[in-house]
Amino acid sequence: MEPLEQAHLALIRGDLEEARQLVEGVLEKEPDNLPAMKLFNKVRSQQARIRAEQIEDESRVQARTNWLNTFDPSTAQVYLMLIGASILVGVGFCLAINPFILGLRHGFSYQVVKPTFLGDGHYPVHFLLVGPLIMFGLGVFLLYSLFRYLWWD
């Protein structure tokens, strides 16, 4: 049996490495062999497709891992993060209460005068919710990450 036929059979069996070696042997002897070139391109494209699928699977697995896994925190660090996240959520919630009530009473575009070192600043009420919501969001994100780190994985 000719090496090109053996390469076809190896490709059909799924043995891409053997098929590539056989086709390369044929191309070394006959560099202008068009069927061997086509078969070589087919083998290389299937190898590239398989490698791309492997990389995609690896990236899916890596995307599922929690960012805390990379740090591998100790028990004390986990407790400190839990306390810090709870404080962030609580303080963010408490700081958001007054601007939220003010917004409900007067509307969220109501102008509030706040003194600054350059003079008085006029701010809409909804600007006063930015800081508390960021604190609340960071705390919730950290709590969720800790939950995933401790119980999900």
Per-residue pLDDT tens over the stretch 13-54 = 888 888 888 888 888 988 888 888 888 899 899 989 999 998
Indicate if 11 and 77 belong to the same structural domain: no
Helices (H), strands (E): how many in the chain? 6, 2
Indicate if 51 and 101 belong to the same structural domain: no
- Which helix (H) or strand (E) segment is 41 a member of? helix 34-64
Kindly report the pTM of this predicted structure.
0.57
Indicate if 139 and 85 belong to the same structural domain: yes
Distance CA 148, CA 141 (A): 11
- Say what the pLDDT of residue 115 is: 83
- In this structure, are residues 143 and 135 in contact, taking their beta carbons and an 8 Å threshold? no
Indicate if 57 and 71 belong to the same structural domain: no
Indicate if 96 and 144 belong to the same structural domain: yes
Indicate if 72 and 102 belong to the same structural domain: yes
Distance CA 147, CA 153 (A): 9
Q: At which residue do the structure tokens 């959520």 appear?
A: 89
Triad 123, 98, 103: Cα angle to 5°: 55
Domain containing 17: what range? 3-64
pLDDT under 50 in the chain at which residues?
none
Indicate if 87 and 119 belong to the same structural domain: yes
C-alpha count within 13 angstroms, C-beta hemisphere, residue 33 = 16
